[in-house]
Structure 1
């Protein structure tokens, strides 16, 4: 059975809308399902941010060693640990970027985004030929709009207001952020997979930049999707994302016995629960893994 048919069989088990691109990076064998449709990226948009940061580091615009002082004005709700730090902590840019990826830290993300510039991240994707990756909102923007507090100023007061919303009503499923348009943080599975392939092959800016990006992504701590059903020692570089019924994961999976690697971009919305979406992504990844290793 072809990889395409195998993945379609997995998706027959869910009523959620999925977009998936899987590509073996050596043989170019691929499977694509709704791969040219736009999906809300959620926190997978942190991969383009990381890519832009390492581009700027290589070009000498930024240094990973620079320390950034965090204040209450930087507070962002949602995932991460930096929001729990006492005000005044000084954190290296490298550590902000690492936390942005490995625990999906929203505060760290928005600090890195301030350094590189949201318009420059979006422009860099276009320079790479990835016209279907659009980044228009910071984490704060995304969450405050989704929580019905569009325009709310970041800081302790806004942070507390948004946390109260999340504890009571949660994200508005009809919010504008879920519209699959270029005014939002959206991507097609195809373009995200292309970005991953550029990173995996060392073709994004320089080998040094790609090595740095992969080193961070391989330290991922959130492992309930792409990594979940894979053998324990499998090397994986990935980044997940969740908001509302959106459950995503994108990454590079390294196969055993010299069989290369494959990239996978799995986006979805309309999941009954986060666990349901996670289960499907894990099954998609294991199906691709078994196909490529010949099991």
Structure 2
């Protein structure tokens, strides 16, 4: 059984379809791909190119990372984590907002930074790297508005409750890469590989981006495939309804880092699908294992 066949079987056993791409971050052409060129919904993985566009704006002097901003949680984009989960106004620097966006997938921080960076510079960054199939149409607030409209509900809470009902078959724009922010797995690994080679932003901002990605708190997807001492997983998850994703770089000591991106669509709409999360971990483990190579191997 080939690597791709093994990965396909993992997804089938978990009750989901999956697209995956993996490559070493050394510029080598070797890859593992299962639908790696297919367009997929980003969900919160969109925060990765947003982060790098923010870092470029800092490099260019357009944004001051140390400037402090005050946010009122009740006025922010809703989300289960981050600023919108708080009760009182908070004041944070821009770089701490970026940190919260990546470590706990803070929707409020992401939408604030998106408003400051703008979609134009994000697309300029993607195009400069040849990532022509990745397009963002807005932030989390835009997605939530579309969900409320598509489910004919009155609030974000009601919309997500409707999506979680397995007795209803919802076709919403947030599930369709033609209508929402989308990418291809191979473009996310290309972006990560370029970042790890220091080709996207300055050395200072490269280290900042890598460090906060290594501090992502969610251990249940790609990180679960590598529970080994000394192994770092620097990633960004994305979840919306039946969509569960993650793009990450897996770093074994003394080896080339490997970028892997996994995008899935589940058959069921339950809010928690541990079998699918475990499939993302196992698929990533299979792909990364096939590409591992010691730094001294060259």
With normalisation by structure 2, the TM-score equals 0.87
Corresponding residue number in structure 2 for 1:105: 106
Shift of 1:75: 1.8
Corresponding residue number in structure 2 for 1:155: none
Corresponding residue number in structure 1 for 2:157: 163
Q: 1:282 to 1:200 in 2, by over 3 A?
A: same
Between 1:204-213 and 1:137-146, the stretch displaced more is 204-213
Corresponding residue number in structure 2 for 1:245: 242
Counterparts of 2:25 and 2:251 in 1: how far apart (Å)?
Answer: 10
Q: 1:116 to 1:189 in 2, by over 3 A?
A: same
Counterparts of 2:185 and 2:118 in 1: how far apart (Å)?
Answer: 24
- Contact (CA 8 Å) 1:21, 1:30: kept in 2 or not? yes
Unaligned 5+ runs, structure 2: 294-298
- Contact (CA 8 Å) 2:214, 2:233: kept in 1 or not? yes
Counterparts of 1:131 and 1:165 in 2: how far apart (Å)?
Answer: 31
1:178-202 CA distance string (max 9 Å, x none): 2221x42000111111101111111
User: 1:213 aligned to 2:214?
Assistant: no
- Contact (CA 8 Å) 2:185, 2:263: kept in 1 or not? yes
User: 1:179 aligned to 2:176?
Assistant: yes
- Contact (CA 8 Å) 1:74, 1:107: kept in 2 or not? no
Shift of 1:2: 5.2
- Contact (CA 8 Å) 1:79, 1:104: kept in 2 or not? no
- Contact (CA 8 Å) 2:131, 2:187: kept in 1 or not? yes
Counterparts of 1:164 and 1:4 in 2: how far apart (Å)?
Answer: 38
Between 1:228-237 and 1:127-136, the stretch displaced more is 228-237
Q: 1:9 to 1:81 in 2, by over 3 A?
A: same
Mapping of residues 1-295 of structure 1, within 5 Å: 3-26=3-26, 27-71=28-72, 74-148=75-149, 161-166=155-160, 168-170=161-163, 173-181=170-178, 183-233=179-229, 234-256=231-253, 258-272=254-268, 273=270, 274-293=273-292
Counterparts of 1:293 and 1:52 in 2: how far apart (Å)?
Answer: 29
With normalisation by structure 1, the TM-score equals 0.87
Counterparts of 2:7 and 2:85 in 1: how far apart (Å)?
Answer: 40
Q: Secondary structure at the match of 1:253?
A: strand
- Contact (CA 8 Å) 1:74, 1:111: kept in 2 or not? no
RMSD over equivalenced CA pairs, Å: 2.3
Q: Secondary structure at the match of 2:217?
A: coil
Runs of 4+ in 1 over 4 A off after TM superposition: none
Shift of 1:205: 2.7
Q: Secondary structure at the match of 1:228?
A: helix
Counterparts of 1:283 and 1:199 in 2: how far apart (Å)?
Answer: 24
Aligned residue-pair number: 283
- Contact (CA 8 Å) 1:80, 1:107: kept in 2 or not? no
Q: 1:269 to 1:9 in 2, by over 3 A?
A: closer
Shift of 1:276: 2.5
Q: 1:284 to 1:72 in 2, by over 3 A?
A: closer
- Contact (CA 8 Å) 2:45, 2:237: kept in 1 or not? yes
